[in-house]
Amino acid sequence: MDQACFAAYAQIVQQAFGIQLPPEKKALLESRLFKLFQHEDERLPASCRTATGFLTWLRQDTTGRARKLLSEAITTHHTYFLREEDHFWYFRDVVLPWIAQAAARTQDVRTWCAACSTGEEAYTLAMLLTEYFSLRGAGWETSLLATDLSEEVIAQAARGIYAADAVAALPEHWQCAYFHLRRDGQRQAVEALRQSIVFRPFNLLTHVFPFRKPFHVIFCRNVMIYFDRETRTELVRKFYDWLVPGGYLFVGHAETVDCEMAPFLYVQPSVYRKPVDAAHTAVPAAGHASLAAARAGVQGSPRTPMSPGGALPRYTVGPRKGASGQTVRNGRTHSIRLIVMGASTGGTEALAAVLTQLVPPLPPIVIVQHIPPGFSELFARRLDRDCRLTAHTAREGEYLAPDHIYIAPGDRHVRVRRLGDRICLSVQEGPLVNGHCPSVDVLFQSVADQRLATGSLGVLLTGMGDDGARGLLAMRQGGARTLGQDEATSVVYGMPRAAWEAGAVERQLPLPAVAAAIAALCARGPGAER
């Protein structure tokens, strides 16, 4: 293939699919076309099995078959289950509770997984949607639209068949609940899960999007990196138009959205939100197919709605590896009965921002804030005044009670102790730990040492140094849920960073999302699983 031929292909690919083919991609294009010519059947004439011959056909073909074959050849479909998994936990703990409130009247939940490839991302979203809304009673419609440029991969995704080792990346309970073993050793998504997703071929460069209603959430990850700036700008604007006010856009971790393209609000890296007070701007063209119409079936087959009564059971997150390589036990069978929190520089305001948003009933909350003696009492009084929970400084031997906040005194370590079925506090003087008294590590480690981690939630907010990282890791290894504040919203991203890099933090969240995540975790009843 000479340079002129490559340039002609690059122009067609750019115009038809929005994908850039810079000169360094010439060898890649040649190899992809070679594979196409080798594997295509006799329906592709011999004269079209060369780069120049196929190019001539592309220019003359009016059936669309040539461009379809080209799209199959040049698109990359690399994905896997739980890719960039922090997105899914944020979707579960922050976005879904918001959707439940926003769509409470219509009970119509609209999610779009764009560029879904072979379906791993779509099936993960479907499991999370089912998990959440099956517990909220009958009537919720949670069908999910999943699209991709390639008709071949869409057909593959609709079948939901994956190698056993690919499904093995999922929590064990998910594997058992949502996939069955085929005779050939592969795993297939159960019918109810497959039927909850509408798979459709779709070109994101379509001038007018063919939808009737806007979406609550759009996932479009690791696609726009292949587009030029003009194409990205136009696509981001369309996504903005087709989100409800307050709706979320998820992009890949290697992608960013220039908020000058569309007035999105930055939430955290690769997560953006349409302002809640934004007006609807999408005006669908009359006569276009709708998502509701698409729900009539996948490939023309009848659809079977999922039963809210539990056609698909709840899931448990199984063992995972932290960043440091330690095995982390995430599965639990108990509700949250204890919350422990730690913070340092910037922590008083961060804690106030979180705690003032919490509403009873809640388990007891024990807090270590690096603060001088005397100021801890003032901080406790402030929280008691501003929060809907009762707050005071921790006292030796005090039994913990629901809907109470216990603040470590500014010159004493605080530990929790198990006494039968109850939990009490130990408040004692002691040497500096990590340069501090009170120390976050001392509190968190006591949760692990007293075998209270299962059923506990650890939260680490802004602060200098690394206090809390080791204790939080011990909690997580013992079965606790753990949250950390992200870099963008931290005054000092020291303590949360150390915990995150150690594998102690299960999910990293912006400060405004922490309260909602805590509430969502504590709202699950006894015996609830993840």
- Confirm whether 467 is a catalytic residue: yes
DSSP conformation class of 167: H
The strand pair at 327-328 and 338-343 is best described as unpaired
**Helices H, strands E: what count in the chain?**
19, 21
Q: Which residues contact 85 (CB under 8 A, 6 or more apart)?
A: none
SS3 annotation, 292-360: HHHCCCCCCCCCCCCCCCCCCCCCCCCCEECCCCCEECCCCCCCCCEEEEEECCCHHHHHHHHHCCCCC
**Dist. CA 17–CA 510, nearest whole Å:** 35
Q: Which of 71, 134, 150, 344 is catalytic?
A: 344
- Confirm whether 41 is a catalytic residue: no
The residue among 346, 341, 364 whose CA lies nearest residue 472 is 341
Instruction: Give the type of residue at 199.
Output: F
Q: How far is CA 269 from CA 235, 238, 355, in A?
A: 19, 20, 24
Q: Which of 87, 370, 404, 413 is catalytic?
A: 370
**Cβ pair 476, 322 in contact under 8 A:** yes
User: What is the strand order of the sheet 390-393 is part of?
Assistant: 390-393, 404-407, 365-369, 338-343, 456-460, 481-485, 507-509
The residue among 471, 467, 512 whose CA lies nearest residue 489 is 512
Sign of CA dihedral 197, 200, 202, 207: negative
The total number of residues shown for the chain amounts to: 530
**Dist. CA 93–CA 374, nearest whole Å:** 36
**Dist. CA 471–CA 442, nearest whole Å:** 7
DSSP conformation class of 225: G
**Cβ pair 199, 274 in contact under 8 A:** no
- Confirm whether 413 is a catalytic residue: no
Q: How far is CA 189 from CA 199, 308, 310, in A?
A: 14, 18, 16
DSSP annotation string for 110-150: -EEE-S-TTSHHHHHHHHHHHHHHTTS-TT-B--EEEEES-
Burial call 247-279: b when 16+ CB within 10 Å, e when fewer: bbbbbbeebebeeebbebeebbbbbbbbeeebe
Q: Which of 216, 467, 486, 490 is catalytic?
A: 467
Identify the three-state secondary structure at position 391.
strand
Show which residues are catalytic.
Answer: 344, 370, 467
